[in-house]
Amino acid sequence: MIDTGVAAVPRLAGRLRGGGDYLAGGDGLDDCDGHGTDVALLLAGAADGTGIGAGMAPGAGLVSLRQSSARFAVRDDDGTERPAGEIRTLAAAVDRAVALGASVINVSEVVCVPADRLDDVAAPLRTAVAAARRADVLVVAAAGNLDPAGTCTGDPGLRPLPALYDAVLAVGAVDGDDRPAPFSVAGPWVDVAAPGVGLPAPAGPEGAVVSGTSYAAPLVAGTAALVRERFPMLTAGQVADRLRATARRPGAGRDDRVGDGVLDPSAALSAEPLLLVPGPGGPTAGGTAGGPGTPQGATAPLPAPTPRPPDLPAVAGIGAVAAAGGALAAVLAGLRRRTGGARRFLSS
């Protein structure tokens, strides 16, 4: 979890540890924005006292790195102030998450930069993301929100980071009826989409809802954590391919707003054959991530098993796999129950 920090709330008890704080020093378990805590609960929160409200992977172990905040400000060279969070520290947080043994990294933040500045401004982040993929770590990132006053203004010359990179699984947002959210940044880099409109705010007051690609990303990351446990022999790239191949495809084919389709957790955890790659006509059996497909039903060699990183709690048991589709349904049910609540929009 690279975000605004994650508070040590009861629904994460025993599964949350700090990885560091790039804003104020510390362990990453302070969250004065509330954003990171909401994202963490959508990803891995346990059910509340009534047995509802579980996140996508309610047994996953989480490591929190606080790297951004709307409550902290930094001053640019021209004297203007902006919320804290730098590409340089985001790159450092990705590197640290890999070093701490994460198998999935969720980045529910984005910065849009001019395309002609990618080689200089974004070089450290590009290097960190590439290193994560080489280490067999899956990076899941929000596609970003259109915001005339922010960095993602809709200017076609801007590119969202880290969502832009091929080694990142970029997530757009849809509403409860799978319609693309009007604020979700579109582009050929978008891989999949997930619900991100009017979701119940897990750490907020009763009736509060949140919207943004920030909140779609953890639903995908949580599903990825379950897939990585159920199929530990799959590489990070093969997990990403499986999520894309099993997504509910747009009727007209791939779409820059939702990528290959809308997340389908049940299909991701149960579809056969094991190795799938997305394609224009639907998923096909495949060998290695990004490699050519083979005829449906063909047998493909499996990669060597990936050992579990040391010193991390195990993610949710296989019993939780069957509940993953229900978790997404519960999110949508909560959306429909709470549509009259206060609305909170955040940067991504």
Which amino acids are annotated catalytic?
Answer: 3, 35, 214
How far are the Cα atoms of 141, 216, 258 from residue 180, in angstroms, in the given order?
17, 12, 7
Helices (H) and strands (E) counted in the chain, each on its own, are: 9, 17
The CA angle 61-67-72, to the nearest 5 degrees, is: 130
* Whole-number Å distance between alpha carbons of 197 and 332: 10
DSSP E strand stretches across 143-211: 158-161, 168-174, 192-195, 199-200, 209-211
CB 267 within 8 A of CB 249: no
The residue to which tokens 């047995």 are assigned: 51
* Whole-number Å distance between alpha carbons of 132 and 137: 5
CB 1 within 8 A of CB 45: no
CB 104 within 8 A of CB 141: no
Pairing, β 199-200 against β 209-211 = antiparallel
The residue to which tokens 């290097």 are assigned: 127
* Whole-number Å distance between alpha carbons of 152 and 35: 18
Among 266, 168, 269, 175, residue whose Cα is nearest residue 213? 175
Pairing, β 138-142 against β 16-21 = unpaired
DSSP E strand stretches across the chain: 2-3, 16-21, 62-66, 69-75, 81-84, 104-107, 111-114, 138-142, 158-161, 168-174, 192-195, 199-200, 209-211, 276-277, 284-286, 293-294, 343-345
Q: Which amino acid is at 59?
A: G
